């Protein structure tokens, strides 16, 4: 936030002008994310900042901090809660650590394919879930994006789920995915994104749960032997604004920020729909061992996950209903 000196140069008056809630004032917002600079989420954050600067006639700007420069997602969520950070594009995984209902998005095979995942995330039910974030987490959820569907990259041959049994398999640190790989009999190893490449390269983990973009762009497949295209879970993202910062914004600024952030966060869904199969085809064309599997590959693990999570959230049934209604 900028301190604006008034005509008399009075610091006290300037401070009053700055903290008056709900009045329009110039802001340089700080937006944090964990993804590296070339990632689709980071590009969307930069495009949002550019459009906000233009739409506000230069009154507002957004400085984007990619690649965990402001800390990991748990730390950034804390900063959003205190108002130390203004905005973030964050995995719904991290949000689900604080608001359990969001775990329902990770129901294995909830979405039939990536287009279907997009329709589920754009549904009124999914968007309505964001209403609980101000009270439960202290943030305003503006819209969903995504990072495609999850796949598995493993050292060694994988022809059945038994081949994953006991493997140290990197997961994003959150409960729904931990429960899934525990049910499968793997040894899920929670690890933040920036640590994954080295961990796979030096054998600290035997396999990773990952999306198509990063498997291809960050060349994870080169550090392993088999890519399993399983499409077993969607991986949503959410655009967040600090509740404290939101409370200080004028109605006009809230509207402008909500519309523009929603536009750019949502655009990531289209990017993944367009590119997911292209990335996977490029991986397959390298000649790496490539296995396509469906739900039956995972045996009882899917049912086991459903049993665990139907007790944790009623939103599982609600999102299943959306999935049925939007299936083709």
Binding site for ligand BEZ (CB under 6 A): 34-35, 91, 147, 172, 193, 210-211, 214
Closest CB to ligand BEZ among residues 18, 282: 282
In b/e form, how buried is each residue of 30-49, taking b as 16+ CB within 10 angstroms? bbbbbbbeebbbbbbbbbbb
Least gap, CB of 76 to ligand BEZ (angstroms): 12
Nearer to ligand BEZ among residue 41 and residue 298 (C-beta):
41
User: Residue 17: helix, strand or coil by DSSP?
Assistant: helix
Q: Report how far residue 174's alpha carbon sits from residue 96's, in angstroms, rounded to the nearest whole number.
A: 7
Phi-psi region of 57 (alpha: psi -120 to 50; beta: other; left: phi over 0): left
Q: Which is nearer to ligand BEZ, 65 or 246 (CB)?
A: 65
Q: What's the token pair of residue 206? A: 């035997």
Least CB distance to ligand BEZ at residue 271 (A): 13
In the complex, minimum distance from the CB of residue 291 to ligand BEZ, in angstroms, rounded to a whole number: 20
The least CB distance from residue 207 to ligand BEZ, in Å, is 13
Question: Which residue has the closest beta carbon to ligand BEZ?
Answer: 172
Question: Any residues with CB less than 8 A from the CB of 305 and at least 6 apart, and which?
Answer: 107, 108, 176, 179, 180, 183
Task: State in angstroms the smallest separation of the CB of 35 from ligand BEZ.
Answer: 5
Question: Judged by CB, which is closer to ligand BEZ: 55, or 178?
Answer: 178
User: Which CB, 86 or 211, lies closer to ligand BEZ?
Assistant: 211
Q: Output the smallest distance, CB 22 to ligand BEZ, in A.
A: 34
Quote helix, strand, coil % in the chain, to nearest 5.
50, 20, 30
Q: Beta-carbon neighbour count of residue 307 at 10 Å?
A: 12
Contact status, residue 13 vs residue 5, Cβ threshold 8 Å: no
Structure tokens at 153: 């990259």
Task: Please give the Cα distance from 328 to 326 (Å, whole number).
Answer: 6
> Which residue shows structure tokens 């719904």?
92
Q: Which of residues 99 and 233 has its CB atom nearest to ligand BEZ in the complex? A: 233
Residue 28 gets which letter from DSSP? Answer: E
Shortest separation between residue 34's beta carbon and ligand BEZ, angstroms: 6
Give the nearer residue to ligand BEZ in terms of CB position, either 149 or 214.
Answer: 214
């Amino acid at each position: 936030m900028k301190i604006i000196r008034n005509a008399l140069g009075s610091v006290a008056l300037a401070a009053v002008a700055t903290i008056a809630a709900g009045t329009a004032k110039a802001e340089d917002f700080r937006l944090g994310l964990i993804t590296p600079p070339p990632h689709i989420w980071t590009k969307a954050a930069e495009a949002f900042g550019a459009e906000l600067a233009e739409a506000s006639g230069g009154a507002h700007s957004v400085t984007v901090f990619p690649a965990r420069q402001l800390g990991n997602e748990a730390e950034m969520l804390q900063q959003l809660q205190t108002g130390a950070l203004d905005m973030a594009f964050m995995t719904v995984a991290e949000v689900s650590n604080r608001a359990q209902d969001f775990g329902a998005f990770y129901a294995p095979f909830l979405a039939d394919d990536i287009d279907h995942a997009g329709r589920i995330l754009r549904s009124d039910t999914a968007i309505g879930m964001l209403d609980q974030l101000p009270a439960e987490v202290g943030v305003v959820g503006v819209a969903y994006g995504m990072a495609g569907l999850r796949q598995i990259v493993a050292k060694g041959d994988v022809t059945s789920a038994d081949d994953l049994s006991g493997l140290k398999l990197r997961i994003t640190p959150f409960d729904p995915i931990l429960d899934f790989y525990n049910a499968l009999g793997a040894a899920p190893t929670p690890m933040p994104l920036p640590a994954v490449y080295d961990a796979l390269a030096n054998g600290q983990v035997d396999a990773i749960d990952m999306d198509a973009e990063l498997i291809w762009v960050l060349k994870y497949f080169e550090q392993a032997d088999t890519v399993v295209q399983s499409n077993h879970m969607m991986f949503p993202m959410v655009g967040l604004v600090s509740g404290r910062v939101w409370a200080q914004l004028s109605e006009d600024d809230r509207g402008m920020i909500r519309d523009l952030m929603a536009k750019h966060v949502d655009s990531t869904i289209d990017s993944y729909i367009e590119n997911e199969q292209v990335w996977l085809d490029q991986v397959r064309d390298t000649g790496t061992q490539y296995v396509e599997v469906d739900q039956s590959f995972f045996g009882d693990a899917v049912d086991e996950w459903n049993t665990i999570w139907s007790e944790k959230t009623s939103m599982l049934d609600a999102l299943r209903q959306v999935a049925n209604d939007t299936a083709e």
